[in-house]
Each structure stands twice: as structure tokens, then as C-alpha cells.
Amino acid sequence: MTISLDIPEELAARLGSRATDMSREALGLAALKAGLWTEGELGRFLRLPRLALAQFLKDHDVEIPYTWEDLEEERELYRNLPQP
């Protein structure tokens, strides 16, 4: 899907080449905050690896929910990884 935005020229001039990135970031953050996308989906949309996504969310004051259950799931995943 392609989305086009009309921005007044005087405002667009101040954004410069950053306009496209800012639009993607704003749309992605809005979708995440509205509960429409997961963190993984946002990362895929922004083409960010997991750690970069975590930093992006931190930079935008988005708290990453992480529960004890999440920790236990990750611990179980690591326990089940093949040993070298």
C-alpha cells in the first residue's frame, strides 16, 4: 500500500529529506500505540532489527511491556537451544 501526504511547501522545506522517515516513524508509532501493530510488526515496517527497535521506542518514550511470564518464556527458549 502506498500512502501520499500533501504538506504545504513552506513546511516541507524545513523537513527536507527527513520527511519520508518521519512519516513512517509517526505512522508506525501511532499504529503501535493504538494497538493495531505489535512491536515486531513495527520493527518490520521500519526495517529495524530488534535492538534498534528497542532504542527507537525508548527514544520516543514508548515503554516496552515486559512481564515475568515474558522472562520465563525467554528462559525456556534458551534452555531448549541446541548445545554446541
Average pLDDT in the 8-23 region? 81
CA–CA distances in Å: residue 83 to residues 33, 73, 76, 78: 38, 18, 14, 10
Domain regions of the chain by residue span: 9-79
**How many Cβ atoms are within 10 Å of 10's Cβ, its own excluded?**
7
Confidence of residue 63 (pLDDT cuts 50, 70, 90): confident
pLDDT of the residue at 83:
84
pTM of the complete model: 0.66
pLDDT exceeds cutoff 90 at 58: yes
Mean pLDDT of the chain: 88
By percentage, how much of the chain surpasses pLDDT 90?
A: 56
pLDDT of the residue at 8:
84
